[in-house]
Amino acid sequence: EELAELQIKEEARLEKLFQEQRQQQGLDDDGTLNTFFQLFDMWIQLYRLNKCMEVLEEVVPICRRRGGDFHVKGVQALAFTLWKKSQFKESIKLFHEIEDLIGSSAALCENMGHTYSSMGNYDEAAKYFQRALKCLDQEVGKKTGDRAGILLGLGLIEDRLGHFEEALAAVRESQDLFRQRANGKPSSLVAKAGMSIAKILLKLALQETDELKKQKMEDEAIERE
């Protein structure tokens, strides 16, 4: 409750500053744009998506003209807002625009994987989750949680594609990494991965002809549930 109050106070402060800068210096100004992006972060936290869209309609064309970091930040903000509004087809086009500007990164590819998944395009989703893992191998200093999240996303997609063995391997690895990060403490992500493993095991058990292997899968699935 205290955090929400602080956020609303900060929102009011930034809105006032943004309006003053907009009137005095215009939107096409470094200071005004930087204040807007601070305000945008606050609006996203408070789920003010309509406010975001209203200003982004004017800000994004300016950012595109300016190029560089402003181009990336403007398009990212619009892509994220559209994603929050479940307008996935529009947001994926913008993610591709960012990819063209700055190349692939683990975070961008993971976002694209989730977006394609939400669109029901599981082949493209799998491709981008796999690309995210490759990017992660090349990026220094990333936490195990990043890899775990990508692996879980990939595993769920492989499951939907009917690739149960690949799905099981990915989700098992993700759970191991989530467990390492939890360091013995209760973790909803460890539990979520465990539930996914159980469901995949039951699907594999249905296909298994060896009764002993089938029973082993079913027993593990029950333990994990």
Report pLDDT digits (tens) over 33-92: 999 999 999 999 999 999 999 999 999 999 999 999 999 999 999 999 999 999 999 999
CA 23 to chain centre: 35
Specify the pTM.
0.88
- pLDDT category at 225 given cuts 50, 70, 90 is low
Burial class (CB in 10 A: 0-12, 13-18, 19+), 79: buried
Report how far residue 21's alpha carbon sits from residue 12's, in angstroms, rounded to the nearest whole number: 14
Task: Please tell me which residue, 22 or 140, carries the higher pLDDT value.
Answer: 22
pLDDT value for 141? 65
High-pLDDT (> 70) share of the chain, %? 96
Report how far residue 40's alpha carbon sits from residue 99's, in angstroms, rounded to the nearest whole number: 22
For the four alpha carbons of 22, 25, 29 and 30, in that order, the dihedral sign comes to: negative
Average pLDDT, integer, range 136-156: 84
How many angstroms separate the most distant Cα atoms in the chain? Answer: 77
Written as six digits, the tokens of 123 are: 């082949």
pLDDT digit string, tens, across residues 184-199 = 999 999 999 999 999 9
Cα angle vertex 18, ends 16, 23, to 5°?
100
Radius of gyration of the CA atoms of the chain, in A: 22
pLDDT value for 144? 60
In the structure, how many helices (H) and strands (E) does the chain have? 11, 0
Alpha carbon of 135 to those of 6, 32, 72, 147, 175: distances in Å? 37, 34, 19, 10, 20
